[in-house]
Structure 1
């Protein structure tokens, strides 16, 4: 082989190597990750921190999340689709509870890995029930032990972790604080290991599968939960009747459904003050979401038995999907 031919062969090999590297860098990975646990362990707060923006509503009241919501995180050639689920619980008497449980359970079907969220130093019957469902799915499980920042005696944490670790062959056990954002990056790093080669399921700009109309209803429901707290029954929901762009402002009409007249008075408050505060804070959040001015009108209506009527629930957007 002449010198020029040798040089050409080396150049061809170099170009081939560079092209192979380029192909590898362009290979896309994409997969679903379920976030599951009993009610009120911090699943929605965790997803919001992972995505670095608010997608799921939060409150101190259990079962704040009622729908399965996707949070989409795209970085370089990887897209992770986090599935925030309603809290799994044993009580299934009402139709709404049954649908919420089905929505959470069905999320385990197509995911690559499960993030099982529990509270530090607490293990209840509902946690055991959630773990049994996860085991049946045969998916790899990362155990996320939340609220470690609230433990006063840190020496008690290790025996607790050892006790829980004996219950299942967890892929990872990570102590976290979803509220403070502690140990969020290790979760994101470990999740990447489970992503298969796939084209992206969503646009790189998407952050959720839910519409702005849906998010507006969730914002109102969050304010109801936060301002009424323990006074508020679970049998309250929000339906957006109008979501309309009118030249320079969004015009949104939201209907708050309750089951009894006494609940209606509770939501409205003396001289309408409670409803006014709820509306003000909801409007401000909607303006941040939509990045435009919002004119919001809230109405409260009594609809007896809606939480027990599966047909009514489906018409209001509740489903097991």
Structure 2
């Protein structure tokens, strides 16, 4: 099952005349809805969404194929001031993504005024030659008079004259105009992936992310970002997929929080994650979770590499 339900091995067809394709980098502050947006655009949950900021860690690629175009979305970590080695890698990788895509979609939280973090990213983007589209997300949460909030972003980027699109990733409203705007900025090109593919990531990676999402949802601020998940083993039978995963945390006290009284928290996390994985693979799943303490893993380049966090070139 390494690459099966999400990654198939079919022949990539020849594109029709006038077909466009390219890579779109989704950039923004932590917790502005980038992962929710990519899930909505590709029509399937492949990136985790959490009320805890800074949950995206890898440059996850989502793929949207229409009759006239193929868009490969690169969901990047939220750009912020890093406080540890993991944070430095995440921000570095997000900056690399800006220069390695065909279009940048700069997503902001339009339910609040533009802040220092938005200004910092705007300054970064002003230095790039990559076309930029400003996406005002969470428009469903704006007050009746939206002008003051919208203007706070327009003033930031007035000199650049970037196109602006408003939408709600959570409600999935306004996504078609956004999709059209993105396609306008792409050049004619081939299919990079088979048309039915929604991500370039193996199923094991998505499984680990779905488990990590449930940890963040159920423990909130108690286990902020010092958690990683590795899928140790997957055994398939015609009726059941057995999955064994390890949850890595930094402190013994966190182990107690994740396991919970009489193991109840771990059961809750496992049950919720199992339901999400069953949707992913469209079949029954047995999920067994283990918890391992790895002191200061976010500060160690070796540990980060072992857990799959590489520095992008």
Please list, as runs of the form range in 1=range in 2, the aligned pairs for 1:164-179 lying within 5 A after superposition. Answer: 164-168=153-157, 169-179=160-170
Match of 2:148 among 159, 168, 172: 159
Q: Does the 8 A contact of 2:20 with 2:68 survive in 1?
A: yes
Shift of 1:24: 9.7
* Structure 1 runs, 4 residues or longer, greater than 4 Å off: none
Deviation sequence 1:255-304 (CA, Å, 0-9, x none):
00111110000000000000001001111111111112111100111110
- Alpha-carbon distance change, 247 to 160 in structure 1, aligned in 2, over 3 angstroms: closer
Shift of 1:77: 3.8
- Alpha-carbon distance change, 299 to 132 in structure 1, aligned in 2, over 3 angstroms: same
Deviation sequence 1:131-183 (CA, Å, 0-9, x none):
1121222222111112222223x22x213323322322243112221111121
SS for the counterpart of 2:72 is: strand
Q: Which residue does 2:8 correspond to in 1?
A: none
- 2:96 is equivalent to residue 102 of structure 1: no
Q: Does the 8 A contact of 1:73 with 1:80 survive in 2?
A: yes
Tell me which structure has the larger Cα radius of gyration: 1
Shift of 1:319: 1.8
SS for the counterpart of 2:98 is: coil
Q: Does the 8 A contact of 2:231 with 2:245 survive in 1?
A: yes
Q: Which residue does 1:280 correspond to in 2?
A: 271
2: CA distance, partners of 1:129 / 1:263: 33
Q: Which residue does 1:184 correspond to in 2?
A: 175
Please list, as runs of the form range in 1=range in 2, the aligned pairs for 1:151-300 lying within 5 A after superposition. Answer: 151-152=142-143, 154-155=144-145, 157-168=146-157, 169-300=160-291
2: CA distance, partners of 1:139 / 1:216: 33
Shift of 1:71: 0.6
1: CA distance, partners of 2:150 / 2:15: 39
Shift of 1:316: 0.8
Q: Which residue does 1:302 correspond to in 2?
A: 293
Q: Which residue does 1:85 correspond to in 2?
A: 76
Count of residue pairs brought into register by the alignment: 296
1: CA distance, partners of 2:172 / 2:284: 31
TM (norm. structure 1) is 0.88
Shift of 1:230: 1.6
1: CA distance, partners of 2:69 / 2:243: 36
Structure 2: runs of 5 or more not aligned? 1-13
Shift of 1:122: 2.4
Alignment RMSD, CA only? 1.6
Deviation sequence 1:115-134 (CA, Å, 0-9, x none):
11111232222111111121
Q: Which residue does 1:116 correspond to in 2?
A: 106
Greater RCO structure (CA 8 Å; 6+ sep): 2
Q: Does the 8 A contact of 1:143 with 1:170 survive in 2?
A: no
Q: Does the 8 A contact of 1:141 with 1:170 survive in 2?
A: no
2: CA distance, partners of 1:288 / 1:163: 40
Structure 1: runs of 5 or more not aligned? 1-22
Q: Does the 8 A contact of 1:223 with 1:281 survive in 2?
A: yes
Shift of 1:109: 1.5
Deviation sequence 1:77-128 (CA, Å, 0-9, x none):
41111111110001x2311101111121111122221111111232222111
SS for the counterpart of 1:107 is: helix
Write 1 or 2 for the structure with the bigger share of helix. 1
